[in-house]
């Protein structure tokens, strides 16, 4: 399953939602994104500008418009964990895309990454994950190590009928919860999150916050794909006091999911948040 949404369809959906429109995806194209930043003093948050243009003169909405949003930095993936990959194809970047997506819940497509040959380093190869100029969802680059593996059972178990049993075709580990949450900004709920202490019970407010920010339906019961049942608050405080957090934010809340109750992802949710300095100044 993919935890990172398809950027093209997501951007179109956001344009529709924020403006009350209905757009046929076939009628519209995006230009290559470019880096952009808000003017000084602005409360807006974006790092990218792209033009949405109609390609069908018969579409109900024609012309073009510039839109602004945040792409994800590929280098941030390396801040989350030591990404050591197993893949059936370890010779090119594009050959490892399917394994990357399966293992880490990513949504890379060939058009997102420059295809380069691997650098051979004895027992493992090194691949460069570098975003293409046309990638709507990503920018930046990261080197990862890869060895042969992640072989699909369906390609090797050619006789699946074992006395009436249907042999499974593939085994996929659940993606890490911190990959699901690390890149998201929970600052809109800073006033609530900052009051939660290590060891506090998980309340309904967290269910609402996670649902609103992620778009997935988080529940208090389980087992369920996105469940906080039996989850534990293992840390609440400064990002300086907890490893593998984003120091661009001053505060972080770490929620350890129960592996039985939460069936879609596994491990710790990482909720970064900060105070809105402009709101505090009354601006």
User: Which residues constitute the domain of residue 226?
Assistant: 177-279
Distance of CA 71 to the CA centre of its chain: 10
Asked whether residue 124 falls in the same domain as residue 159, the answer is yes
Asked whether residue 193 falls in the same domain as residue 133, the answer is no
Query: Which residue, 21, 39, 70, sits at the end of a domain?
Result: 70
Q: Provide the b/e sequence for 89-111 (b: ≥16 CB within 10 Å).
A: bbeebbbbbebbbbbbbbbbbee
The pLDDT, as a whole number, for residue 86 is: 79
Query: Which residue, 32, 49, 70, sits at the end of a domain?
Result: 70
In a domain, 205, yes or no: yes
In a domain, 2, yes or no: no
Rounded Cα distance between 80 and 71, Å, is: 17
**What is the chain's percent helix, strand, coil content, to nearest 5?**
25, 30, 50
Asked whether residue 34 falls in the same domain as residue 92, the answer is no
Asked whether residue 110 falls in the same domain as residue 194, the answer is no
The pLDDT, as a whole number, for residue 165 is: 38
Walk along the chain (283 residues) in steps of 10 and give the mean pLDDT of each run: 73 91 94 92 91 94 92 86 75 88 86 92 87 94 85 75 41 70 91 92 91 91 90 93 89 92 89 69 39
In a domain, 1, yes or no: no
In a domain, 224, yes or no: yes
Asked whether residue 199 falls in the same domain as residue 256, the answer is yes
Classify residue 244 by its DSSP letter.
T
Asked whether residue 66 falls in the same domain as residue 81, the answer is no
In a domain, 172, yes or no: no
Query: Which residue, 46, 70, 94, sits at the end of a domain?
Result: 70
In a domain, 201, yes or no: yes
Asked whether residue 18 falls in the same domain as residue 93, the answer is no
Q: How many domains does one find in the chain? A: 3
């Amino acid at each position: 399953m993919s935890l990172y949404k398809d950027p093209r369809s997501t951007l179109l959906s956001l344009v529709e939602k924020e403006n009350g429109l209905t757009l046929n995806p076939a009628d519209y194209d995006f230009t290559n994104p470019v880096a952009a930043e808000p003017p000084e003093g602005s409360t807006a948050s974006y790092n990218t500008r792209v033009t949405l243009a109609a390609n069908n003169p018969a579409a109900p909405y024609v012309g073009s418009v510039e839109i602004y949003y945040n792409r994800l930095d590929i280098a941030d993936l390396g801040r989350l964990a030591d990404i050591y990959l197993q893949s059936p194809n370890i010779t090119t970047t594009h050959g490892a895309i399917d394994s990357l997506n399966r293992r880490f819940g990513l949504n890379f497509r060939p058009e997102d990454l420059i295809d380069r040959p691997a650098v051979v380093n004895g027992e493992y190869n090194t691949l460069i994950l570098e975003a293409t100029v046309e990638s709507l969802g990503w920018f930046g680059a990261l080197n990862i190590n890869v060895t042969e593996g992640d072989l699909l059972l369906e390609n090797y178990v050619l006789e699946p009928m074992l006395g009436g049993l249907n042999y499974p075709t593939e085994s996929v580990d659940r993606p890490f919860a911190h990959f699901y949450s690390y890149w998201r900004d929970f600052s809109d709920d800073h006033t609530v999150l900052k009051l939660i202490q290590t060891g506090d019970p998980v309340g309904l407010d967290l269910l609402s916050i996670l649902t609103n920010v992620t778009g997935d339906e988080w529940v208090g019961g389980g087992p369920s794909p996105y469940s906080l049942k039996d989850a534990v608050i293992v840390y609440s405080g400064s990002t300086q006091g907890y490893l593998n957090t984003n120091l661009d934010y001053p505060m972080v809340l770490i929620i350890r999911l129960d592996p039985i109750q939460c069936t879609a992802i596994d491990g710790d949710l990482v909720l970064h948040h900060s105070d809105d300095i402009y709101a505090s100044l009354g601006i």
